[in-house]
Amino acid sequence: MAMELALLGGRPAVTCGPSDIFNRPIVTEENEQAVLDVMHRRAMSG
């Protein structure tokens, strides 16, 4: 069963808006602190 692309008038696969998808911290405070810790220790490799 072939379905028509949303671009051509078919039903969109994603129905929520961009703010519903990307309205979250992608990088958390915990992530940021972990990266800063590595940089301050100068432990970026081996």
Could you read off the pLDDT tens digit of each residue along the chain, which spans 46 residues? 688 999 999 999 989 888 777 777 788 899 999 999 999 998 877 6
Q: Are 14 and 22 in contact (CB under 8 A)?
A: no
Q: Are 10 and 4 in contact (CB under 8 A)?
A: yes
Tell me how far apart the alpha carbons of residues 16 and 28 are, in angstroms, rounded to a whole number: 23
Q: What token pair was written down for 39?
A: 């940089």
Global pTM?
A: 0.45
Q: Are 16 and 9 in contact (CB under 8 A)?
A: no
